[in-house]
């Protein structure tokens, strides 16, 4: 997912003398600064030393340098969740912009916890339908934080912190489910991010980490006092600031402030972390026995049942960490002797213990044709058509099939406006940081004549080659060339009940790979599925009104 660049001053500004760019003349002629020239050594801004950053400085540093991708992901997901007009299709679209995130979300979606039916989930669109909006949002945030921590310095404290966080999150989610919580995934992500400030500091500190580590190792040292002495603030305060800055949710805010009286759900978060920490001292310790008594009382369940539950959760937490790409945390999650390790349990290929000791292969820069995935997505589309399909989700699934299944770099669906005078891109995948939905606006009146208007009027699917057929060459106007590039493309109209409503477009312009007949046939097949689905959906709605 794209990060939103945040340009922040890396530290407090020091009082300065007259600027070198001050127009006030001194002696001699004024100098004209060449913007292409390298800045003079004394003009280069260096990041402030960590000891001078302060709390706000650390937030700005993590925004700009440490965790910009996570920050952008969190804000995108928060915006979608907060908007009444947001749909499952919009969430799917955000995930699909990042090939790595897409692969990891599908991996987690097919884990035993989420996919208990055993029917493989092949598309993000389908994952949102099957698992629900909140679950997929939680999965995305969890993956994003794992990736952010992996890109840091990876110190021992980060590894142990991630292990404890996953253990606590799985325990807390189960407690929430036992309490019939409406959104247990919110509890999971709030628990996972409960020590976000600490994890971020240990991952990205370059100067103060060793000082704080030494202070914390002193016998009898109070951790919060050590943090205040070395940093000038507590890492809990950094979590609070990041939660607000990145809009990570009210539950996490309440948990950081320990508002158990105002928000009973905070108790799940607190108990999860307390249990995960206590387990590291030993499952048979007297303190653990006392804690299990409290958990049983909190859940209104017999002690023996709660004991079996939390033991199973510890095993599940280790498996969960592996599925999320944090396999390094697996061995650090303490399990009772009765619990099986992930390697002993039957697991999906590549997801057993130690699966992440070797780095995952980076996703290909452009999607490769995958006939099996095409077939799986077409089956999911057929299954969707048996329900009352959502217009937006159906189109998103078709685009996902064209992009990930056929291996076309860019694809979009454009819809005619109500007055049929303008064709505007509504959904798009693979177009990079610029939003093609803002640029793809085609005048369809008699004043405009181009390949897209021709497609709508003639109802003709086209494989436009380079050089084009002589009959099509006049239709490749400068506006079309600016949108499509120098290579060929596919385009096909969408006709619902004998009325053209828009079109699908796809190409391989970014990679420069050639188009081929097999890809064109598959492209038309997916578009025909969209035609069927939209016609069925419209007919169903019309039937419901009569």
Q: Assess if residue 344 is contained within a domain.
A: no
State whether 247 and 375 are in the same domain.
Answer: no
Based on the domain organization, do 161 and 263 belong to the same domain? yes
Among 332, 357, 387, the domain boundary falls at: 332
The stretches of 220-370 forming alpha helices (DSSP H) are: 223-231, 235-245, 250-256, 266-279, 286-299, 303-323
Q: Please give the C-alpha separations between residue 115 and each of 112, 126, 130, in angstroms, as whole numbers.
A: 5, 12, 9
Query: Which CATH number covers residue 166?
Result: 1.10.3210.10
**What's residue 355's pLDDT?**
40
Q: What is the pLDDT along the chain (546 residues), one digit of tens a residue?
A: 443 333 333 333 333 333 333 333 333 433 333 433 444 444 334 455 666 678 999 999 998 887 888 888 888 888 887 765 556 777 888 888 888 889 899 999 999 888 888 788 998 988 988 888 889 989 999 998 888 888 776 578 899 999 999 999 999 999 999 999 999 999 999 999 999 999 999 998 888 888 898 999 999 889 999 999 999 999 999 999 999 999 898 999 999 998 887 788 999 999 999 999 999 999 999 999 999 999 999 999 999 999 999 999 999 999 999 999 888 888 899 998 755 544 443 334 333 334 443 345 566 778 899 999 999 999 888 877 777 667 788 888 899 999 999 999 999 999 999 999 999 998 888 887 566 777 899 988 876 789 999 999 999 899 999 898 999 999 999 999 999 988 899 999 999 888 899 999 999 999 999 999 999 999 999 999 888 888 776 665 555 543
Distance (Å, whole) CA 453 – CA 409: 23
- Shared domain check, 385 and 285: no
- Dist. CA 389–CA 347, nearest whole Å: 33
Backbone dihedral region for residue 512 (phi beyond 0: left; psi -120 to 50: alpha; all else: beta): left
Per-residue pLDDT, 94: 82
Residue 16 counted as domain residue: no
| pLDDT value at residue 393 | 81
Q: What is the pLDDT of residue 411?
A: 94
- How much is the pLDDT for 358? 39
Residue 26 lies in a domain: no
Dihedral angle at the C-alpha atoms of 79, 80, 83, 84, nearest 10 degrees?
A: -170
Residue ending a domain, among 309, 332, 355, is: 332
pLDDT value at position 433?
59
Would you state the structure tokens that stand for residue 93, as one six-digit string?
Answer: 């679209």
Does 453 lie in the same domain as 306?
A: no
Which are the contacts of 129, defined by CB distance < 8 A and separation ≥ 6?
A: 88, 384, 393
**Token duo for residue 284:** 């048979």
Q: Tell which of 332, 348, 383 closes a domain.
A: 332
Judge contact between 123 and 400, C-beta under 8 A: yes
Q: Answer yes or no: do 84 and 157 share one domain.
A: yes
Range of the domain at 411: 371-545
Instruction: Reduce the secondary structure of 475-534 to three states and give it as a string.
Output: HCCHHHHHHHCCCCEEEEEEEECCEEEEEEEEECCCCCCCCCHHHHHHHHHHHHHHHHHH
75 and 136 both lie in a single domain: yes
In terms of domains, do 243 and 131 share one?
yes
- The total number of structural domains in the chain stands at 2
Q: Are residues 322 and 409 in the same domain?
A: no
């Amino acid at each position: 997912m794209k990060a939103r660049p945040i340009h922040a001053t890396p530290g407090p500004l020091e009082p300065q003398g007259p600027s070198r760019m001050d127009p006030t003349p001194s002696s001699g002629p004024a100098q004209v600064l060449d913007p292409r020239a390298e800045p003079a050594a004394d003009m280069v801004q260096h990041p402030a030393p960590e000891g001078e950053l302060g709390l706000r400085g650390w937030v700005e540093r993590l925004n700009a340098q440490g965790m910009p991708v996570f920050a952008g992901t969190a804000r995108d997901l928060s915006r979608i969740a907060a908007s009444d007009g947001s749909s499952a299709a919009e969430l799917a679209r955000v995930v699909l912009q990042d090939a790595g995130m897409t692969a990891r979300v599908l991996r987690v979606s097919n884990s035993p916890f989420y996919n208990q039916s055993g029917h493989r989930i092949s598309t993000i669109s389908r994952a949102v339908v099957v698992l629900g909006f909140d679950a997929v949002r939680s999965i995305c945030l969890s993956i994003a934080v794992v990736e952010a921590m992996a890109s840091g310095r990876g110190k021992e404290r980060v590894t142990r912190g991630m292990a404890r966080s996953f253990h606590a999150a799985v325990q807390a989610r189960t407690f929430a489910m036992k309490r019939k919580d409406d959104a247990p995934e919110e509890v999971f992500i709030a628990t996972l991010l409960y020590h976000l400030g600490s994890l971020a500091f240990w991952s990205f500190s370059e100067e103060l980490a060793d000082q704080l580590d030494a202070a914390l190792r002193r016998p009898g040292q109070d951790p919060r006092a050590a943090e205040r002495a070395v940093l000038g603030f507590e890492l809990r305060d950094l979590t609070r600031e990041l939660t607000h800055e990145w809009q990570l949710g009210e539950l996490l805010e309440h948990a950081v402030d320990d508002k158990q009286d105002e928000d009973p759900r905070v108790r799940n978060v607190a108990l999860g972390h307390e249990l995960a920490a206590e387990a590291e001292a030993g499952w048979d310790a007297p303190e653990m026995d006392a804690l299990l008594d409290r958990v049983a009382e909190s859940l209104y369940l017999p002690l023996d049942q709660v004991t079996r539950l939390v033991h199973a959760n510890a095993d599940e937490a280790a498996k969960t960490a592996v599925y999320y790409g944090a396999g390094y945390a697996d061995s650090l999650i303490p399990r009772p002797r009765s619990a099986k390790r992930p390697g002993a349990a039957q697991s999906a290929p590549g997801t057993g213990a130690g699966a992440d000791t070797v780095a995952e292969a980076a996703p290909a820069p452009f999607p490769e044709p995958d006939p099996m995935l095409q077939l799986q997505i077409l089956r999911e589309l057929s299954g969707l058509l048996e329900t009352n399909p959502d217009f937006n989700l159906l189109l998103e699934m078709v685009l996902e099939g064209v992009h990930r299944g056929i291996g076309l770099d860019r694809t979009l669906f454009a819809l005619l406006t109500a007055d049929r005078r303008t064709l505007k891109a509504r959904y798009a995948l693979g177009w990079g940081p610029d939003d093609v939905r803002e640029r793809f606006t085609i005048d369809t009146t008699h004043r405009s004549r181009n390949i897209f208007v021709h497609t709508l009027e003639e109802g003709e699917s086209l494989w436009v080659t380079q050089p084009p057929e002589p009959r099509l060459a006049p239709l490749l106007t400068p506006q079309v060339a600016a949108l499509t590039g120098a290579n060929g493309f596919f385009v096909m109209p969408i006709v619902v009940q004998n009325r053209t409503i828009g079109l699908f477009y796809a190409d391989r312009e970014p990679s420069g790979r050639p188009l081929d007949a097999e890809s064109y046939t598959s492209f038309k097949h997916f578009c025909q599925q969209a035609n069927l689905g939209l016609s069925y959906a419209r007919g169903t709605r019309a039937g419901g009104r009569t």
